[in-house]
């Protein structure tokens, strides 16, 4: 008898707890939200949870700190000092040194498609100032000769690096992704289980899912228009897009964009409008979306097949509007209303 009572009471207590937690979900808390300008772009952060506001304030501090540390234009940053130095060793923030080290490793495995030393060429085209110009063939050859990630020496443990005089580098292709990784870890350590960080220019970091337990639904921009051509469902995942539509100028009827082919120092043209990478690692998303945009679909798909040890999937949007995606995204990807007639190929 006694035992039955205990069982009944336990059952009651459990039902009570369940009902309470359901009420907790039902009365959805308002998230903490903010928009800031950092890393040359507008970022929007949404953080759920009872301590969401404090967690978000600390996240914003982290973003500004990373912006200062990784900036190529802030005269107080080590990257600036490397670019304007005499080819000597320069002490760096350990965070910047380790990101540089990892960016060089990504340079190595992508066969130089990701090359942080493309920066001299990025400047020559005017992408850092907005004073755009088209360098002539001779200038492009000289610029391309000075793009070589393998000439950068980095001592990640000693937090220092050395760049040959006359070369310059920037971490713009990987900074937002790495920042997203740091923020996700920081928020999780602070007990946040639901947040969406839009780090601008299509760098997304999803912490958990939505507060109701469903996945975040992220729009994939149509590179040839204003709308979203597809939706990607994400949970505890990052997503990064690189595309010619993000920063470009027109000259004599030709469009020139900010992602350069390190072999030619000119905009990478491989018939793609954009490349999106989805991965648990924001750094991989950011670095590989840039690299795969340079490689193009055929080389990029082969790279995906050749690197099963790297946890990532890819969406290629071609200039003709058709889409190709790797097998891991079959479930998470769907065309948006109005785009249902787009041709979609599954890459295996
Ligand atoms: P993302 O928007 O992440 O694709 O990065 C593009 C930015 O990275 C550009 O604005 C340049 O500063 C820099 N960049 C351009 N081409 C390359 C390249 N091939 N490898 C590395 N960084 C690049
Ligand atoms: Mg990138």
Q: Around 209, how many Cα atoms within 13 Å sit in the side-chain half-sphere?
A: 9
Which pLDDT value is given to residue 19? Answer: 34
**Confidence label for 202 from pLDDT (cuts 50, 70 and 90):** confident
Least confident residue range of 19-23, 26-30, 52-56, 97-101: 19-23
Give the pLDDT confidence of 136-186 residue by residue, as tens digits: 999 999 999 999 999 999 999 999 999 999 999 999 999 999 999 999 999
Rounded to whole angstroms, how far apart are CA atoms 183 and 83? 27
pLDDT higher than 80, residue 13: no
Per the rule left: phi > 0, alpha: psi between -120 and 50, beta: everything else, 252 is left
* Residues 139, 23: Cα–Cα separation, whole Å: 66
How many angstroms is it from 258 CA to the middle of ligand 1?
Answer: 7
Ligand 2: centre distance to CA 75 (Å): 23
Q: Of 279, 184, 266, which Cα lies nearest the Cα of 239?
A: 279
Given a contact cutoff of 8 angstroms between Cβ atoms, the answer to whether 244 and 273 are in contact is yes
Q: Which of 201, 258, 261, 289 has most ligand 1 atoms within 8 Å of its beta carbon, as the pocket-test mutant?
A: 258
- Per-residue pLDDT of 218-256, as tens digits, reads 999 999 998 999 999 999 999 999 999 999 999 999 999
Flag whether pLDDT at 14 surpasses 50.
no
> Is the predicted pLDDT of residue 116 greater than 60, yes or no?
yes
CA 105, CA 310: separation in Å to the nearest integer?
13
Residue 21 predicted with pLDDT over 80: no
Cβ of residue 170 lying under 6 Å from some atom of ligand 1 = yes
Structure tokens at 45: 């952060």
Length of the chain in terms of residues written: 348
The pick from 172, 261, 274, 288 for probing ligand 1's pocket by mutation, whose C-beta has the most ligand atoms within 8 angstroms, reads: 172
Percent of the chain at pLDDT exceeding 70: 92
Q: How far is the CA of 203 from the centre of ligand 1 (A)?
A: 13
Per-residue model confidence (pLDDT) at position 328: 97
């Amino acid at each position: 008898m006694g035992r039955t009572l205990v069982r009944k009471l336990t059952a009651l207590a459990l039902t009570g707890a369940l009902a309470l937690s359901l009420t907790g979900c039902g009365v959805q808390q308002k998230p903490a939200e903010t928009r800031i300008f950092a890393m040359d772009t507008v970022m929007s952060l949404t953080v759920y949870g009872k301590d969401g506001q404090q967690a978000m304030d600390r996240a914003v501090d982290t973003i500004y700190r990373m912006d200062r540390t990784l900036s190529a234009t802030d005269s107080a940053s080590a990257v600036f000092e490397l670019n304007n130095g005499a080819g000597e060793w320069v002490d760096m923030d350990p965070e910047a040194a380790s990101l540089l080290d990892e960016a060089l490793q990504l340079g190595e495995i992508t066969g130089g498609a990701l090359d942080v030393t493309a920066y001299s060429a990025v400047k020559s085209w005017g992408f850092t100032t907005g004073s755009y110009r088209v360098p002539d063939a001779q200038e492009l050859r000289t610029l391309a000769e000075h793009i070589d990630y393998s000439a950068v020496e980095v001592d990640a443990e000693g937090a220092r690096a050395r760049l040959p005089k006359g070369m310059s580098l920037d971490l713009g292709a990987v900074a937002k992704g790495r920042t997203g990784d740091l923020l996700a870890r920081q928020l999780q350590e602070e007990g946040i289980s639901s947040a969406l960080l839009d780090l601008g220019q299509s760098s997304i970091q999803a912490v958990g899912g939505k507060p109701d337990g469903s996945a975040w639904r992220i729009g994939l921009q149509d590179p040839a228009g204003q709308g979203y051509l597809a939706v990607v469902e994400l949970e505890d995942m990052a997503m990064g897009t690189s595309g010619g539509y993000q920063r470009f100028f027109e000259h004599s009827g030709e469009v020139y964009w900010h992602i350069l082919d390190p072999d030619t120092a000119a905009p990478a043209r491989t018939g793609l409008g954009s490349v999106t990478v989805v991965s648990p690692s924001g750094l991989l998303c950011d670095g590989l979306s840039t690299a795969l945009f340079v490689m193009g679909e055929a080389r990029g798909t082969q790279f995906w097949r050749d690197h099963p040890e790297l946890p990532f999937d890819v969406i290629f949007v071609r200039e003709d509007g058709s889409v190709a995606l790797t097998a891991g995204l079959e479930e998470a990807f769907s065309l948006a209303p109005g785009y249902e007639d787009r041709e979609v190929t599954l890459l295996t």
